[in-house]
Amino acid sequence: MNYVNTNFSIENTLNIVSGAMHTNKILLIEDNPGDARLVEILLSESDLLDCEIYHRVSLAEAMMELEKNTDFEAILLDLTLPDSQGFETLAQLITKFPNNNVIVLTGLADKSLGLKAVKAGAQDFLVKGAFDSELLAKTLRFSIERNQVLKRLEETQRVAHIGNWEYQPESNYFIASDEVYRIFGLPPRETFFLGQDLEDPKCPFHFFYQINRDVLDVGELKKDLKVTQANGYSKYVYIQCTVRKSQEYGEVIHGIIQDITERKLSEQELLKSQERYEEIFTESKDAIFIATLEGKLVDFNNATTELFGYPKRELESQNNIHELFYPREKKNEFLLKLRTQKSIKEYSIKVAHKSGEVRHCVISANIFVADDFIGYNCILRDITERKQAEKMKKARDLARHSAMMKEQFIASVSHEMRTPMNAILGMSNILVQMDLEKEQFNLVSSIKQSSEILLGVVNDILEISAIQNGKIVFENKFFNLEELLANLVNVMQYKAQEKDLYFETIIDEETPMILLGDKLRLNQILYNLVGNAIKFTDHGFIKIYIKKLFDIVDSVQLQFIVEDSGIGIPSEKIDAIFETFTRIRQKDRLYEGTGLGLSICKNLVEQQGGKIGATSEEGKGSKFFFDLIFEVGEASQLEPKSPELDHVELDEETPFRLLLVEDHKMNQLVARKTLERKFPNIYLKIADNGKIAIDILEQESFDIILMDIQMPVMDGYEATKHIREEMPDSIATLPILAMTAHAHISKDEKFKEYGLDDYVLKPFEPEDLFNKIAKYLRK
Ligand code: ADP
């Protein structure tokens, strides 16, 4: 290798490197071996300690070395090299490595070149043969010191994020410190931009081109700017630069650039959060204010003015906001708490609004000390509405609860009434069929009739309770209106005849007969109206008219009218009769009833989207009318008739075995008597509850079971479940019919879930019971 490596280690010389011992690297670029050797000797004679010389003989080799090694304290450069001569040598070197201290070695003949070199950026020059070891050492020491200073400066710049640059327009000379590169996101000492590079708009330093031109116009520049880094990120910088005139270089621009991104961002953050708090403060629905402990308001938001009801100016001049606390004595307790605890949360307090209205609030406050101010900040939340809502909710819950209780009460009263009525009705049914004397027959008939009326009352009460609790669900099935009317006439004609009334049904031709809707409800409404008509008419007629009002796409609006020639209704009472429990007093006669029928009708009509009304003339008669909309169907859409509705034939002499599960002694008797009269060959066994029934079923075989639901020990649901799930197949598959006084059994299909096949509602119609038994026996 063509280089000399020399180590000097001379003690007791000035230690120019602060801190630990440090090797000073010096690059010697010299092709003349004699000159190179001379430098080494001079250096060894000097008082410079610990130097290491890297000797290169061409510019190319030197440049290679500089690529690898960035920490040369000085470069001793001979301007005449095999691959480059004269001033060009220096120019090449400092263009590529501007941050090095270059000491140019010139011959005696070209001393002027040395001066030019210094102008162009060399640190110094030495004339070969004209410098001794002392001068060499002095020059190098200066270089070393300069490097140290530069390093410290560099460090300072790095820490402070401040870089500096210099620009000489005349020579287009530009130099920037490492930190400038860093600020622009460029690794320092890898690329260096020169004056001419800046002109390119794509150059990351193009920014300086602008700045330099601007400052030349105005002489001095100070401003914050946003710059874009090479990687696209933005930085905020502060720049300050001035133009100075020098004789040697013409105009020189000196500038510093400081990275103020962090500060800017935190300023922006601060501003944003200030704005946010400002917004919370002004937009808050809660009153927020700062006050002295004496109650003088220092700052407050709009909600405060709203809460207290005073305009801003009046609040500002209010000397003691605590005076507006209600009752006033409360302020002492509040202030004492605040002083002792420094911070209070959700403390309940009332304030007096300007209007005199008292608002319920909760207050959260903190003692607040700043400079010479002692006070508190607080949030005052108006909870008056919340309190009211809570109160209302309580009332609503209570109402809901009592409605539920009422419903339950009505359901259980109805059950408790139906059970003995089953006995009364059942027994009178059996009695009227017996051989009775006329008077006995009349008495028993009266008992039967009265019980039927009582049952109607119970049913109406249950119905109105269901309506009031929104429990009514309407069925949507195709039905035949003609059939419905035929059944109605069948029953009603008979009642009309009893009173010698003319009964007629007039149906407009255009009325479609196959309709989609709830036929049971329609029947119920008509039954009620016709029932009333018969009840309140002693002479004359009852007429039913039905006609189509409108066609609506594939639906029709039908009108139903029930007209009578009865006692009529005073015109001022017409509206009242549709209310619950309204009955109109008649001077000479009391008609039985509860005043529920029309109210039920009104609800049933209106809940299906229709209207009901009446016109009447006292003493002449009444007209009740309602309209309903039905979808029109075709005969093919009717459900095939279920055998249930038809009379099922069963030979009464057929022997069969029936288990009756029933705890009520009298109802046991009614059922036994009723069944035994109808089926003389029946074998009937009675179990007092579900448990006993299961025991009996284990001993004896049966064809059918009648099961009461509510029983002690084991109820009907439980017993059925046990039979279906736990007993041998022959028993588990027996038909089981519920026989219950729970009216809701027809509404929910719960009985099916428990495995019951069907139900008979108590008080039962004997025919209904016989039919169901026949149906399931035949199966
Ligand atoms: P109820 O008939 O059970 O008393 P309603 O609600 O059916 O109850 O009828 C309420 C009242 O309206 C009856 O008590 C009666 O005074 C009057 N009212 C109803 N229908 C007629 C009618 N067709 N003629 C005369 N008055 C009637």
Query: Which ligand 1 atom minimizes the distance to the CA of 582?
Result: 10
Residue of 536, 542, 594, 623 to test ligand 1 pocket, by largest number of atoms within 8 Å of CB: 536
* 765 CA to centre of ligand 1 in angstroms: 27
DSSP-derived 3-state class of residue 618: coil
Structure token pair of residue 491: 């029953």
Q: Atom 23 in ligand 1: which residue has the minimum CA distance? A: 533
- From residue 442, alpha-carbon distances to 247, 427, 532, 629, 724 in Å are 146, 15, 24, 45, 46
Q: Atom 13 in ligand 1: which residue has the minimum CA distance? A: 583
The pLDDT assigned to 454 comes to 83
Sign for the pseudo-dihedral over CA of 290, 292, 295, 297: negative
Structure token pair of residue 696: 């009996």
Pairing mode, if any, of strands 502-507 and 477-480?
A: unpaired
* 507 CA to centre of ligand 1 in angstroms: 25
Q: Atom 12 in ligand 1: which residue has the minimum CA distance? A: 577
The pLDDT assigned to 511 comes to 94
Structure token pair of residue 749: 């299909």
Total-model pTM: 0.52
The pLDDT assigned to 1 comes to 36
Q: Atom 16 in ligand 1: which residue has the minimum CA distance? A: 584
Q: Atom 21 in ligand 1: which residue has the minimum CA distance? A: 532
* 550 CA to centre of ligand 1 in angstroms: 29
- On whether the CB atoms of residues 615 and 623 are closer than 8 A, the answer is yes
Q: Assess whether the C-beta atom of 593 lies below 6 angstroms from ligand 1.
A: yes
Q: Assess whether the C-beta atom of 605 lies below 6 angstroms from ligand 1.
A: no
Query: Which ligand 1 atom minimizes the distance to the CA of 592?
Result: 4
Q: Atom 19 in ligand 1: which residue has the minimum CA distance? A: 532
Task: Tell how far CA 703 is from the center of its chain.
Answer: 59
Q: Assess whether the C-beta atom of 530 lies below 6 angstroms from ligand 1.
A: no
225: closest CA among 276, 259, 273? 259
Q: Assess whether the C-beta atom of 499 lies below 6 angstroms from ligand 1.
A: no
562: closest CA among 510, 500, 492, 479? 492
Q: Assess whether the C-beta atom of 375 lies below 6 angstroms from ligand 1.
A: no
- On whether the CB atoms of residues 726 and 741 are closer than 8 A, the answer is no
348: closest CA among 392, 387, 320? 387
Q: Assess whether the C-beta atom of 597 lies below 6 angstroms from ligand 1.
A: yes
Query: Which ligand 1 atom minimizes the distance to the CA of 600?
Result: 6
* 595 CA to centre of ligand 1 in angstroms: 7
Q: Collect contacts of 221-225 with beta carbons under 8 A, ≥24 apart.
A: 221/255, 224/260, 224/264
Three-class SS of 493-520: HHHHHHCCCEEEEEECCCCCCEEEECHH
How far, in Å, CA of 231 to CA of 249, rounded?
Answer: 35
Instruction: Quote the crossing angle between the two packed helices 766-778 and 665-678, to the nearest 10°.
Output: 70
Cα angle value 401/406/410 (rounded, 5°): 150
The pLDDT assigned to 287 comes to 94
**705: which DSSP letter?**
E
Q: Assess whether the C-beta atom of 533 lies below 6 angstroms from ligand 1.
A: yes
Q: Assess whether the C-beta atom of 584 lies below 6 angstroms from ligand 1.
A: yes
Splitting the chain (779 residues) into consecutive groups of 10 residues, what average pLDDT does each group show? 39 38 85 90 84 91 88 90 88 84 84 82 87 89 87 86 90 88 84 85 88 91 88 90 87 92 90 90 93 92 94 90 87 91 93 92 92 90 92 92 85 84 88 88 86 83 81 87 90 90 94 92 94 94 95 93 95 89 75 86 94 94 96 85 58 88 92 91 93 93 93 91 92 91 74 87 88 85
The pLDDT assigned to 501 comes to 95
Query: Which ligand 1 atom minimizes the distance to the CA of 596?
Result: 6
Q: Assess whether the C-beta atom of 621 lies below 6 angstroms from ligand 1.
A: no
Q: Assess whether the C-beta atom of 599 lies below 6 angstroms from ligand 1.
A: yes
Q: Assess whether the C-beta atom of 578 lies below 6 angstroms from ligand 1.
A: no
* 623 CA to centre of ligand 1 in angstroms: 12
Query: Which ligand 1 atom minimizes the distance to the CA of 594?
Result: 3
* 630 CA to centre of ligand 1 in angstroms: 27
* 455 CA to centre of ligand 1 in angstroms: 18
Residue 327: cis peptide before it, omega within 30 degrees of 0? yes
Q: Assess whether the C-beta atom of 532 lies below 6 angstroms from ligand 1.
A: yes
* 364 CA to centre of ligand 1 in angstroms: 64
* 464 CA to centre of ligand 1 in angstroms: 16
The pLDDT assigned to 10 comes to 33
- From residue 643, alpha-carbon distances to 264, 443, 637, 774, 775 in Å are 90, 37, 18, 11, 8
- On whether the CB atoms of residues 301 and 381 are closer than 8 A, the answer is no
Q: Assess whether the C-beta atom of 595 lies below 6 angstroms from ligand 1.
A: yes
Query: Which ligand 1 atom minimizes the distance to the CA of 568?
Result: 25
Q: Assess whether the C-beta atom of 567 lies below 6 angstroms from ligand 1.
A: yes
Q: What is the DSSP string of 347-368?
A: EEEEEE-TTS-EEEEEEEEEEE
The pLDDT assigned to 21 comes to 56
Q: Assess whether the C-beta atom of 596 lies below 6 angstroms from ligand 1.
A: yes
Task: Tell how far CA 402 is from the center of its chain.
Answer: 33
Q: Assess whether the C-beta atom of 537 lies below 6 angstroms from ligand 1.
A: no
Residue type for 630, please? F
Q: What is the DSSP string of 356-422?
A: S-EEEEEEEEEEEEETTEEEEEEEEEE-HHHHHHHHHHHHHHHHHHHHHHHHHHHHHHHHHHHHHHH
Q: Atom 10 in ligand 1: which residue has the minimum CA distance? A: 595
Query: Which ligand 1 atom minimizes the distance to the CA of 580?
Result: 6
Q: Assess whether the C-beta atom of 564 lies below 6 angstroms from ligand 1.
A: yes
